[in-house]
Amino acid sequence: MSVELPKLNYDFKALEPFMDAQTVEIHYTRHHQGYVDKTNAVLEKYPDLQDLDLEELMKKIPILEMEEADKTVLKNNGGGVLAHDLFWDIMGPEKEIDEKLALDLEENFGSVSKFKQIFSEAAKSHFASGWTWLVKGEKGKMQVYSTANHDSPLAKNHEPILVLDVWEHAYYLHYQNRRADYVDNWWNILKLI
Ligand code: MN
């Protein structure tokens, strides 16, 4: 198995004015590509793991037969690959509303707007680099939380549904330190709700 950079389904400038073209280009072609390359480099050392896909690897890191330092490289870079894969996929210049997701959000949080409020608060208050997630956890119950660095909910066997990158590289060129504005504007380019 070798990990690949997925195709972006829109132009770099398609998410403007909420996410600027230069940020998308650098984020995708350098940051995301970098995580892909580093994941492949560490996995090349372990041919026995080639049969597992990246999601399986992320779930099993603690029990994999790898050197501890390489586990850390895999967690950071493989986690980065999967988080960015999802991040680009759920955004777009046109809304493609997911009715099932809206119903699930109503059931779990009371309303879509209440969910957005909870998620935004988690993203704005997360300290330093990381990601804010909507996941399906135990018994399919939805949860919102943030993780540090590239730590993946898959490590807890939670299924990622939505994710927002709150690393500074995701917004600093356009928003500088105004993460709250980035978060509030993100709902315009999240295509699913
Ligand atoms: Mn990122």
- pLDDT confidence bin for 30, thresholds 50/70/90: very high
Pick from 7, 1, 77: which is nearest to 35 by CA? 77
**If you measure from the C-alpha of residue 107 to the centroid of ligand 1, how many angstroms do you get, rounded to a whole number?**
30
Token pair of 107 as six digits: 């059931």
What is residue 13's predicted lDDT score, i.e. its pLDDT?
Answer: 98
pLDDT given for residue 50 in this prediction: 81
Distance 90 CA to ligand 1 centre (A): 14
Residue 84 · residue 4 · CB < 8 Å: no
Helix axes 33-43, 68-89, angle to 10 degrees: 140
In this predicted model, what pLDDT tens digit does every residue of 116-161 receive, in sequence order? 999 999 999 999 999 999 999 989 999 999 999 999 999 999 999 9
30 CA → ligand 1 middle, Å: 10
Distance (angstroms) between ligand 1 centre and the Cα of 31 equals 6
Which tokens sit at 153? 């909910």
Put simply, whether the predicted model's pTM sits higher than 0.75 gets the answer yes
Ligand 1: distance of its center to the CA of 110 in Å? Answer: 30
Measure 81 CA to ligand 1 centroid, in angstroms: 9
- Cα 167 to ligand 1 centroid, rounded to whole Å: 6
The single residue listed with the structure tokens 């230069």 is 22
Query: What is the rounded distance in angstroms from the CA atom of residue 181 to the CA atom of residue 193?
Result: 19
Measure 24 CA to ligand 1 centroid, in angstroms.
Answer: 10
Q: What separation in angstroms does the CA of 148 have from each of 9, 56, 79, 110?
A: 27, 20, 11, 27
Instruction: Give me ligand 1 centre to Cα 171, in Å.
Output: 9
CA distance 104 to 110: 9
How far apart CA 111 and CA 170 sit, in angstroms, is 28
Amino acid (1-letter code) at residue 142: M
Centroid of ligand 1 to alpha carbon of 165 (angstroms): 6
Q: What is the pLDDT of residue 157?
A: 94
Whether 1 shows a pLDDT value over 80: the answer reads no
Q: Are 90 and 192 in contact (CB under 8 A)?
A: yes
Q: What is the pLDDT of residue 19?
A: 98
Summarize pLDDT for 49-104 with one digit per residue, the tens: 988 999 999 999 999 999 999 999 999 999 999 999 999 999 999 999 999 999 99
CA dihedral 47, 53, 59, 63 (to 10 degrees): -20
